Structure 1
């Protein structure tokens, strides 16, 4: 039974992190398997950041004091913070512009892509497979209307949905999860409208950005219209918990 289990582990780690399956294989013939796996994984991840430019990708920052960074170390640990240089530049310019309009603003990035190979899927996304797409977290405020810097409603920035009208019927074969059981347990923050509007206005006018996915009811609430703003479809994930941008 060990062979199928190891194959399953390799497949799962490869799907989740791209390099994890190789790290698991390197650890199989050692006495201290988990220690070797962890060391191999971090070595491969560090090497990925240096080799990614050869594949046309660069990592987004996981820390630092700038106006843009990854929302959680989880994305960096799983090697999901890579995009093409043009998108990295656009995201940095967006964060700088919103911060200029609203000093002290921190823009948080979510899933980008893996460091290597276009066409390699970044599950559960349907399109994050070429480094040209990036998800951005909402800006949030508390019940008193104060901006919450670097704070999201969920620990990973996803799945904290803003409820509103939709034309999508329920369907079991879909990534449009509602996760109704989770919503009552999340903080009662709201999208901060001035920063959300600043983000959307910038995305609507920057020539590098070709498409932006946001749920229609949010665009209606914020009063924003642009040919770039679209609906991702009823079988794809909801986009009233994050903003999807692409070159």
Structure 2
């Protein structure tokens, strides 16, 4: 009895985690359990049933997010943003991880804004590709996109900074962190830090010290290109529905772009000195 309770509790917790991280992942997990159960009823060995369930789960999550989710997204007024660079594409996901987890969906207004920004920036900088990070899940307004406090209505998207290699050569779809997040641009002095209280509770403002071992030190912030992107967002962005931009105060100062649209997210939300958060409409 206790063993069964532990298994059910573990399965329930895994369902919640997978649903929170990928939205459709929890459903695929239930389908894999159902398949294993059906195979056992049909006389299959436990090992074969478990293996079949694992295969369905491992293949089903990325396949569902790549092929099923786009169709579901259209029912909720969202579109799938590009997963990789291609001819004529001026923006794409920094990592295929975002597409595999179904976190690259947004409303058509966001897509139109990205296309306009990429087109305008590309006139003066041919070959430039804007790197997108988390956008939204494919369906259900109000469904959160952990660990974000927003990104729940298809109108939010995070944009990676631009970077160069150690020699100053621009790098397409590259960042110090393979995820784009947590490769922080640290404040130049302690006085420039927006939040110095290290004993905050119930906060998403993580310094991710353990992750810094995986951050590449040969990537440099492309300040000119990043400033150009931010400048476009505050000057031309409102014509395409941009209503809010979240950025760390020391990055606003460093990039030299100010606007009432740019706001500080506060000390309990994620740090924004590794990406730019943009909201369109709403």
Do they fold alike, i.e. is TM over 0.5? yes
Q: Does 1:55 align with 2:85?
A: no
Larger deviation: 162-171 or 111-120? Answer: 162-171
Q: Is the alpha carbon distance of 1:195 and 1:117 closer, same or farther for their aligned partners in structure 2, counting shifts above 3 Å?
A: same
Q: Does 1:211 align with 2:244?
A: yes
SS state of the match for residue 94, structure 1? helix
Structure 1 contact 26–40 (Cα < 8 Å) conserved: no
Q: How does 1:1-247 map to 2 (within 5 A)?
A: 1-29=6-34, 30=36, 31=49, 32-45=52-65, 46-65=67-86, 66-164=89-187, 165-168=192-195, 169-170=197-198, 171-183=200-212, 185-188=214-217, 189-205=219-235, 206-207=237-238, 208-247=241-280
CA distance in 2, matches of 1:162, 1:42: 32
Q: How many residues are treated as equivalent by the alignment?
A: 247
Q: Is the alpha carbon distance of 1:20 and 1:39 closer, same or farther for their aligned partners in structure 2, counting shifts above 3 Å?
A: same
CA distance in 2, matches of 1:35, 1:145: 44
CA distance in 1, matches of 2:127, 2:145: 32
Q: Is the alpha carbon distance of 1:183 and 1:2 closer, same or farther for their aligned partners in structure 2, counting shifts above 3 Å?
A: closer
Larger deviation: 184-193 or 18-27? Answer: 184-193
CA distance in 2, matches of 1:95, 1:7: 43
Larger deviation: 115-124 or 63-72? Answer: 63-72
CA distance in 2, matches of 1:41, 1:63: 19
CA distance in 2, matches of 1:184, 1:54: 42
CA distance in 2, matches of 1:228, 1:112: 19
Larger radius of gyration: 2
Deviations, residues 83-135 of structure 1 (Å, cap 9, x unaligned): 01101110122122222221121111000010010110100000111110000
TM-superposed deviation, 1:41: 3.0
SS state of the match for residue 182, structure 1? helix
TM-superposed deviation, 1:233: 0.5
Structure 2 contact 61–101 (Cα < 8 Å) conserved: no
CA distance in 2, matches of 1:8, 1:120: 18
TM-superposed deviation, 1:185: 4.7
Deviations, residues 137-189 of structure 1 (Å, cap 9, x unaligned): 11012333221222111010000111112231221331111123433652232
Taking structure 1 as the reference length, what is the TM-score of the superposition? 0.95
SS state of the match for residue 242, structure 2? coil
Deviations, residues 212-242 of structure 1 (Å, cap 9, x unaligned): 1111111111211111111000110000000
Segments of 5+ residues of structure 1 without an aligned counterpart are none
